[in-house]
């Protein structure tokens, strides 16, 4: 079993380059199925979740190869199964995109109900509502979602909750539906726009992605293409927070500064210096870091995926901060571990915490419970005096590319070790 050992208290200094976006990649890879033709995907992150989706598609009959620069060529023409129910599928959240992609291409799909990080209930009722509106018969049986349609027809779909997954999944099926689909109250996250751009590159007609009304003119013939995935907004944010947390001076290259506005605004409010260029952000210290209040919201609000690392940063801010988590009800699993490191955190109610800044955090053995909790504990380990050992690192491998190498290149004392 792997674990991280961090000798904390070292300033991060230098430059780091951001990898491709996990949540865009995990939708774009299955979306290739829709064209039936070979696509070349560039700038994919080298992470465990991408490896798992690659393995799932290969097991379905797709032909996947890598170019020397790490791009992935996917030829989905050999896919011969519409039923994907193994443990690999149920272990990851994004496997739900196979439902929209297979239903769109073959009008039938059977997918194990998705798993992923245990950060809340994570229902898929809005995905199902959307597919049903497009004409699919859907049943949930034996731990799987089974969908079938004679034909898919465009429809107007209003999402009862703003859901990234449902917005993307409905988009995938809708490009194959005859006529116009309108998704209202759609998610506006950068990866929703990226998936729409990819679909358009394959010949689809998706308009309005990035606003809360997306219009899809379905039924066009799609073709293969070459597409580069956008940079990972959450990885960029994690490095921005880590830079601030260690009072370092870090230039984050290859990111899109407008995607980072909610975090940048909070860091500026704390008194951290943040400067932006076209595709890079520099984070530097400037005096005392003040406590702030953070509330997670759908994009362009403060992303829930950065709430946990931000909580670690606030543990040593001057004053009392509050953090409200409005998207996932169990996204506070990292708090007990932060308390073991000396943080003063009180749960006010099920969705709000109060953090009283302390002068020091102290290294301790801690355990990761989900992907972004892992990022939070790494940030805390970098801030803390002494040695922090972080167990259950497999969660972190699912979403961060070469995290320890990137941190080490910035001067962090972090090692990956193994224990029986």
Which residues in this chain contact ligand UD1 in the complex, by CB under 6 A? Answer: 23, 26, 93-94, 120-127, 161, 163-166, 187, 304-305, 327-328
Given a contact cutoff of 8 angstroms between Cβ atoms, the answer to whether 396 and 375 are in contact is yes
Please tell me the distance from the alpha carbon of residue 351 to that of residue 332, in angstroms, as a whole number. 8
Q: Which is nearer to ligand UD1, 126 or 367 (CB)?
A: 126
Please tell me the distance from the alpha carbon of residue 377 to that of residue 414, in angstroms, as a whole number. 12
- Can you spell out the DSSP letters for 33-79? GGT-S-EEEES----HHHHHHHHHHHHHT-EEEE-TTS-EEEEGGG-
* Residue carrying the six token digits 């909610």: 262
Given a contact cutoff of 8 angstroms between Cβ atoms, the answer to whether 401 and 19 are in contact is yes
Q: Which is nearer to ligand UD1, 145 or 378 (CB)?
A: 145
Residue nearest to ligand UD1 (CB): 165
**Residue 26 CB, nearest approach to ligand UD1 (Å):** 5
Cα 317 to the chain's mean position, in Å?
26
Q: Which is nearer to ligand UD1, 26 or 34 (CB)?
A: 26
**Residue 400 CB, nearest approach to ligand UD1 (Å):** 13
Write down the catalytic residue from 39, 117, 255, 315: 117
**Residue 116 CB, nearest approach to ligand UD1 (Å):** 7
Reduced 3-state DSSP string for 221-290: CCCCCEEECCECHHHHHHHHHHHHHCCCEEEEECCCHHHHHHHHHHHHHHCCEEEECCCEEEEECCCCCE
**Residue 187 CB, nearest approach to ligand UD1 (Å):** 6
**Residue 15 CB, nearest approach to ligand UD1 (Å):** 26
Q: Which is nearer to ligand UD1, 334 or 340 (CB)?
A: 334
Task: Assess whether 315 carries a catalytic annotation.
Answer: no
Please tell me the distance from the alpha carbon of residue 115 to that of residue 118, in angstroms, as a whole number. 8
Q: Which is nearer to ligand UD1, 166 or 240 (CB)?
A: 166
**Residue 14 CB, nearest approach to ligand UD1 (Å):** 28
Dihedral over Cα of 304, 306, 309, 314: its sign: negative
Given a contact cutoff of 8 angstroms between Cβ atoms, the answer to whether 34 and 199 are in contact is yes
- Can you spell out the DSSP letters for 298-345? STTSB-HHHHHHHHHHHTTSBSEEEEE--S-TTTTTTHHHHHHTT-EE
Q: Which is nearer to ligand UD1, 52 or 175 (CB)?
A: 52
Instruction: Cite the active site residues.
Output: 117
């Amino acid at each position: 079993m792997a674990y991280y050992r961090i000798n904390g208290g070292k300033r991060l200094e230098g430059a780091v380059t951001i990898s491709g976006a996990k949540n865009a990649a995990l939708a774009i890879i299955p979306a290739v199925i829709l064209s039936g033709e070979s696509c070349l995907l560039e700038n994919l992150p080298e992470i465990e979740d991408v490896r798992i989706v690659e393995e799932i598609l290969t097991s379905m009959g797709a032909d996947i190869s890598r170019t020397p620069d790490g791009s992935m060529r996917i030829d989905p023409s050999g896919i011969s199964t519409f039923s994907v129910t193994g443990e690999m599928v149920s272990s990851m959240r994004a496997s739900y995109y196979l439902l929209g992609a297979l239903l769109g291409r073959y009008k039938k799909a059977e997918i194990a109900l998705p798993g992923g990080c245990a950060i809340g209930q994570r229902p898929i009722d809005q995905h199902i509502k959307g597919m049903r509106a497009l004409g699919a018969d859907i049943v949930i049986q034996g731990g799987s979602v089974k969908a079938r349609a004679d034909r898919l027809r465009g429809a107007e779909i209003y999402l009862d909750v703003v859901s990234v997954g449902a917005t993307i999944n409905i988009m995938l099926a809708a490009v194959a539906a005859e006529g116009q689909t309108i998704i209202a109250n759609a998610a506006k996250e950068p990866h929703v726009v990226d998936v729409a751009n990819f679909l358009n590159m394959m010949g689809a007609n998706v308009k309005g992605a990035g606003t809360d009304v997306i219009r899809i003119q379905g039924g066009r013939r799609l073709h293969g293409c070459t597409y580069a995935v956008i940079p990972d907004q959450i990885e960029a944010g994690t490095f921005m927070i880590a830079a601030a947390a260690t009072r370092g001076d870090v230039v984050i290259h290859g990111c899109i500064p407008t995607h980072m506005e909610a975090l940048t605004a909070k860091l500026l409010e704390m008194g951290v210096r943040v400067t932006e260029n076209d595709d890079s952000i520099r984070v530097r210290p400037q005096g005392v870091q003040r406590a702030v209040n953070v509330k997670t919201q759908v994009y362009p609000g403060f992303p829930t995926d950065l709430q946990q690392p931000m909580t670690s940063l606030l543990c040593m801010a001057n004053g009392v901060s509050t953090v409200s988590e409005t998207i996932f009800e169990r996204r506070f699993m990292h708090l007990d571990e932060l308390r073991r490191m000396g943080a003063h955190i009180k749960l006010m109610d099920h969705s709000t915490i109060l953090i009283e800044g302390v002068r020091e955090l102290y290294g301790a053995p801690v355990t990761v419970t989900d992907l972004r909790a892992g990022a939070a504990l790494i940030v805390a380990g970098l801030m803390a005096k002494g040695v922090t050992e972080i167990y259950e690192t497999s969660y972190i491998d699912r979403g961060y590319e070469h995290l320890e190498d990137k941190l080490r290149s910035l001067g962090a004392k972090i090692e990956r070790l193994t224990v029986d």
